[in-house]
Amino acid sequence: MYLVFDIGGTNTRVAISEEGKSLKSIKKIFTPEDFDQGMKGLKQVADQLSGGEEIKGVVVGVAGPLDKEKTTLIASPHIPGWVNKPIKPSLEKIFNQPVYLEHEADLEGLGEVAFGAGQGYKIVANLVIGTGVATTRIIDGKIDQNALGFEAGHQIIVMNGHPCDCGGFGHLEAYVSGSGLMKTYGKKGEEIKDPKIWEEVAKYLAIGLNNVVVFWSPEVIVLGGAVMQSIPIDAVKSYLRKVLTIFPTPPKVVLGKLGDDSALFGGLQLLME
């Protein structure tokens, strides 16, 4: 039996896979702010799901860029209590198995390419707009090589603009993510009903996508995450056509298909590899 964890900024999802080919028993818990609490919570839910069966492998996605050795987070706007904590060694001790740690954003992209909306494309940009904005670039079905990680959510779209949870200003995440909307409008994304606000958010997202296109040259942009259920995708596409003047035809922009489970599917893909 294999375990796949997706430790997000707000929620943690856990699934088991019997043979490393499909997922079952997906469970959701709140991600504790405290690292030690988090480790206890993961062990508890894993014990429940596995029912004492032998664990053969563990894949973990965690929300934020990792150190070079992929053992811990080097930054994380939404779970700062986990930064620089021994995530991989602690989990290896708990499960007595090698643990593969990846950036949650990379697993989300991998999941959409292997099982979802990115299937059949060679160059995919995946953006997940939830608590934050998680991004990655997948080439030929693999997480593209990178020196520091893919953090297009922290591109500056407005000089001296709104504060971002990472400490910067004017970042895409501050204008389109759940945490950004909460700061600007004092409401959760799903509570915002004014179409004018969503039109505005669509414009900011289109500017971000323009930059993704000119730097990453994707065949397709896959947009997932809870906030994408409210951002009008047709408006995003229409603004993107207006601002992206260097290419006559923008790449395809499509909605993700796997919802909040995309990182779990990415973890499954890693197990299969």
Question: For the sheet containing 11-17, what is the strand order?
Answer: 24-30, 11-17, 2-7, 57-62, 99-103
Which single residue brings its beta carbon nearest to Zn ion? 164
- Applying CB under 5 A, what is the total number of residues that bind Zn ion? 5
Q: Considering only residues 7, 166, 201, 236, which one is a binding residue for Zn ion as defined by CB under 5 A?
A: 166
Q: How far is the CB of 166 from Zn ion (least distance, A)?
A: 3
- Which of 209, 233, 234, 229 has its CA nearest to residue 221? 209
Do 47 and 55 form a contact (C-beta atoms < 8 A)?
A: no
Distance CA 222, CA 34 (A): 32
252 forms beta bridges with 220
Considering only residues 3-32, where is the footprint of Zn ion by CB under 5 A? none
Stretch that binds Zn ion, among 38-46, 91-99, 142-150, 159-167 (CB under 5 A): 159-167
Q: Is residue 164 involved in binding Zn ion (CB under 5 A)?
A: yes
Q: How far is the CB of 173 from Zn ion (least distance, A)?
A: 5
Q: Considering only residues 81, 141, 161, 168, which one is a binding residue for Zn ion as defined by CB under 5 A?
A: 168
Q: Considering only residues 13, 78, 171, 237, which one is a binding residue for Zn ion as defined by CB under 5 A?
A: 171
Query: How far apart, in Å, are the Cα atoms of 175 and each of 1, 76, 170, 260?
Result: 41, 18, 8, 21
Query: How far apart, in Å, are the Cα atoms of 221 and each of 73, 79, 113?
Result: 26, 27, 11
Q: Considering only residues 13, 103, 154, 237, which one is a binding residue for Zn ion as defined by CB under 5 A?
A: 154
Q: Is residue 129 involved in binding Zn ion (CB under 5 A)?
A: no
The residue ranges that bind Zn ion (CB under 5 A) are 154, 164, 166, 168, 171
